[in-house]
């Protein structure tokens, strides 16, 4: 397959780093700037877990390691939308308090 003119233009402007959309602020960032979220099945409702190594199987969502983005995602129930199902986002709130504590005490 030879790329058409449009494909060539996108090759010129595209960066080699994969881009992902943050479910919190909805801005597009390099994959390396975001943390992957995945689902872990416990009983009926899967839990949203942080997957820093992007190693868990299945559908993933991406978010900045930023309390503002995590809290926005929780408020908007963005994880439910990203995973297209009812999910338990309690682990996200726990992660949020960890991030908040870290930014208060950057030790």
Kindly list the residues in this chain that would bind Zn ion in the complex (CB under 5 A): 22, 24-25, 64, 69
The minimum distance between CB 26 and Zn ion, in angstroms, equals 7
Q: In 1-107, which residue ranges form alpha helices assigned H by DSSP?
A: 5-13, 67-75, 78-83, 90-104
**Cβ closer to Zn ion: 23 or 38?**
23
**Cβ closer to Zn ion: 24 or 67?**
24
**Cβ closer to Zn ion: 12 or 75?**
75
The minimum distance between CB 43 and Zn ion, in angstroms, equals 30
The minimum distance between CB 104 and Zn ion, in angstroms, equals 20
What is the widest separation between alpha-carbon atoms in the chain? 54
Using the Cα atoms of residue 32, residue 105, residue 101 and residue 66 in order, give the sign of their dihedral. negative
* Cα 29 off chain centre by: 10
């Amino acid at each position: 397959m030879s790329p058409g003119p449009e494909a060539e233009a996108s090759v010129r402007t595209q960066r080699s780093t994969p881009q992902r959309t943050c479910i919190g602020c909805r801005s597009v960032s390099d994959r390396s700037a975001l943390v992957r979220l995945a689902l872990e099945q416990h009983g009926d409702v899967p839990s949203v877990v942080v997957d820093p190594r992007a190693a868990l199987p299945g559908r993933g969502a991406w978010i900045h390691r930023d309390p503002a983005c995590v809290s926005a995602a929780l408020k908007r129930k963005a994880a439910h939308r990203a995973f297209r199902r009812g999910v338990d986002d309690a682990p996200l709130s726990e992660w949020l308090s960890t991030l908040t504590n870290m930014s208060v005490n950057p030790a």
